[in-house]
Amino acid sequence: MSRSAQVIQNWLVDRVSRRLGQLPETIDVQAPFEHFGLDSVMVVTLIADLETWMGWRFHENPLEDHPTLAALAQYLAECDEKKNPRT
């Protein structure tokens, strides 16, 4: 079953807040990823964790074309729906 954009966004917020040592409610889902100051190791780890959680691999870095948590979550929900249609 596919995941909704909200479920994916919540997962992303949880992971980013943990990496930054911040409360989830302080994470602005409309802010560009650069705003969070994630270093390259954090980004690679986030993508790897996301691939594991989603159950499929990315062919490209999805953060490049979807620069906010909200945009990335929406994109991933659409991709997940194609891979795992709701029944």
3-state helix/strand/coil string of 38-67: CCHHHHHHHHHHHHHHHCCCCCCCHHHHCC
Domains and CATH numbers, the chain: 5-83 (1.10.1200.10)
Segment 40-52 shows an average pLDDT of: 92
> Chain-wide mean pLDDT for the chain?
90
- If one compares 52 and 39, the residue with the highest pLDDT of the two is 52
- For residue 47, pLDDT over 60 is answered with yes
- For residue 34, pLDDT over 60 is answered with yes
